[in-house]
Amino acid sequence: MTNVGDPPQYFWCIKHNRVESGDGKCAAKFLLGPYPSPADAEQALAKVKERNEEWEEEDARWQGDPS
């Protein structure tokens, strides 16, 4: 995996379910990131899930739903 940039940037590709970087990465519409390391990029979907759950809880509190 060649990388371009300083500092290097890594992305999670939702089309191929893999870390990508450099000139060979997929189109932006398929990428999550950038992330500072391949390990961080590998955790992208877990982070998305965590944030979505937090936002849904906050929305429920905002709307007055006690659950």
Q: Where are the domains of the chain?
A: 10-62
Question: Please, which residues have CB within 8 angstroms of residue 16's CB and are 6 or more apart in sequence?
Answer: 26, 30
* pTM beyond 0.85: no
Q: Give the integer Cα–Cα distance in Å for 45 and 12.
A: 8
Q: What is the pLDDT of residues 16-36, one digit of tens each?
A: 999 999 999 999 999 999 999
pLDDT at 64: 86
Higher pLDDT: 53 or 1? It is 53
Q: How confident is the model at residue 55 (pLDDT cuts 50, 70, 90)?
A: very high
CA atoms within 13 A on the CB side of 12: 15
Residue 37 has pLDDT above 90, yes or no: yes
pLDDT given at position 3: 56
